[in-house]
A = this chain, B = another copy of it.
Amino acid sequence: MTDGIAIPATSKQLAEVAFNADGLVPVIAQDIQNGDVLMMAWMNRESLEMTFAEGRMVYWSRSRQELWRKGDTSGDRQFVREAYFDCDADTLLFKVEQEGAGACHTGARTCFFRPFG
C-alpha cells in the first residue's frame, strides 16, 4: 500500500532553505517511476515541515493563501520518496509517487502537457 514515509531532514538543512521575500520556495515534483516532471508549486516553511513529517506533498496555495494538502480534494496524493535542494538552496526537488489520475487539475498526468511550437 502506498503511504507516506517521513523524510528525516535535519534542522541544519531546514535552516539552509532560502525562502523568498514572500516566505516561499519553488518546489518541483517529479514522478519517481518515469522521471516526468509533474508540476511546480510553492511551499512555505510550515508546509515544507508538514511535507517532511507526513512524507506527503503539502504546498502553499498562493491563489487561496492557505495550506494545500495535495490530493485532499482530488484524491490524487503525492508521496515523497526522495527530496533534494539545489546548489543555492532556493529551489527544491521532490521525487514522488503520484497517486490516482495525475498531478494536474485538468486530469492530465503532468501539468506540462502543452508543447510550444
| Residues of B contacting A116 in the complex (Cβ-Cβ under 8 angstroms) | 7-10, 13, 52, 83-85
Tell me how many chains of this kind the complex includes.
2
Number of interface residues of A (CB under 8 A): 35
Closest to A26 in B: B26
Instruction: Say whether, besides A30-B37, A37-B28, A40-B28, A114 and B85 are in contact (CB < 8 Å).
Output: yes
Nearest B residue (CB) for A16:
B114
> What are the interface flags for A93-117 relative to B under an 8 Å C-beta threshold, 1 for contact and 0 otherwise?
1000000000011101001111111
| Residues of A that sit less than 8 Å from B by CB | 7-10, 13, 26, 28, 30, 34-37, 39-40, 52, 82-88, 91, 93, 104-106, 108, 111-117
The 3 closest A-B CB pairs, nearest first, are: A35-B35, A86-B111, A8-B117
